[in-house]
């Protein structure tokens, strides 16, 4: 069994799991991942840290009291269901099969990277039309303004956290493009998010059987 199959088999996602606190209260974890992946990843990281070291980190949390004497993040990380769902959704958004082709004329390779153009000072622009394989990149008058980032949602963490804090609109724009490249369409409703992630899950589960069929031939 390959590593890929091991990951797939361990996914246990509750597509209806809703957060009950914070700025995304009453939204499912899937909706949050599509709306604000950096916050989603922050939740996941915090939960895992608290799980590993409950006492030292609780003091540093600033989310306040949920009303029953327990920090809501602390309660969230007690839920195996929540942790499994956070893990599963993250796996899906970072390992789906990309269907777009490289935009270099004549190239038949699958796209692996999306081009983000701009600077910290003037902001960034990104479009699903500018995707390339590992060999090619777009031509530009100022190549230094181009960044090619992997087509996966973890690329947002680089922009959202480390690269230029605070430019929320650019991060949102990049998130929308990555959502689109993953195949998400429409408004981020509970039902749309659920159908989308179930579709990604089904595509992941399809791959091993397709691979084994190819080998058999």
Residues engaged in binding Zn ion (CB under 5 A): 102, 104, 107, 109, 133, 136
Nearer to Zn ion, 18 or 104 (CB): 104
The owner of tokens 């990277």 is 113
Q: Which is nearer to Zn ion, 7 or 107 (CB)?
A: 107
Q: Where are the alpha helices (DSSP H) in 128-189?
A: 155-157, 168-181
Distance CA 90, CA 103 (A): 27
* Numbers of helices and strands, H then E, in the chain: 9, 3
Q: How far is the CB of 74 from Zn ion (least distance, A)?
A: 47
We find the least distance from the C-beta atom of residue 12 to Zn ion, in angstroms, to be: 36
Taking the C-alpha atoms of residue 30 and residue 14, their distance in angstroms, rounded to an integer, is: 9
Q: How many other C-beta atoms can be found within 10 angstroms of the C-beta atom of residue 5? A: 14
How far are the Cα atoms of 3, 9, 88, 176, 209 from residue 127, in angstroms, in the given order? 32, 33, 27, 9, 33
Choose between 100 and 104: whose C-beta lies nearer to Zn ion.
Answer: 104
Report, in Å, the least distance between residue 104 CB and Zn ion. 4
Instruction: Provide CB contacts within 8 A for 33, sequence distance 6+.
Output: 40, 89, 90, 93, 153, 193
Q: How far is the CB of 40 from Zn ion (least distance, A)?
A: 31
- Choice between 98 and 133, CB closer to Zn ion: 133
Q: What angle do CA 175, 20, 183 make, to 5 degrees?
A: 25
Min CB(139)–Zn ion separation in Å: 13
- Cβ of residue 207: shortest distance to Zn ion, in angstroms? 22
């Amino acid at each position: 069994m390959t590593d890929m199959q091991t990951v797939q088999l361990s996914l246990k996602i509750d597509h209806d799991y809703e957060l009950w606190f914070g700025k995304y209260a009453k939204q499912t974890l899937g909706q949050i991942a599509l709306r604000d992946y950096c916050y989603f990843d922050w939740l996941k990281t915090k939960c895992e840290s608290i799980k590993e070291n409950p006492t030292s980190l609780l003091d540093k949390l600033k989310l306040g009291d949920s009303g029953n004497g327990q920090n809501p993040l602390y309660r969230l990380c007690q839920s195996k269901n929540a942790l499994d769902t956070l893990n599963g959704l993250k796996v899906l958004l970072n390992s789906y099969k990309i269907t777009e082709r490289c935009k270099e004329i004549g190239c038949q390779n699958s796209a692996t990277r999306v081009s983000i153009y701009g600077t910290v000072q003037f902001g960034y622009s990104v479009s699903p039309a500018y995707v390339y394989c590992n060999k090619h990149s777009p031509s530009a008058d100022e190549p230094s303004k181009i960044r090619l980032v992997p087509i996966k949602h973890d690329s947002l963490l680089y922009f959202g956290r480390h690269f230029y804090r605070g430019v929320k609109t650019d991060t949102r724009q990049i998130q929308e493009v990555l959502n689109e490249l993953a195949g998400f369409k429409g408004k981020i409703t509970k039902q749309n998010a659920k159908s989308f992630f179930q579709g990604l899950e089904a595509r992941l589960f399809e791959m091993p059987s397709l691979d084994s069929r190819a080998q058999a031939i």
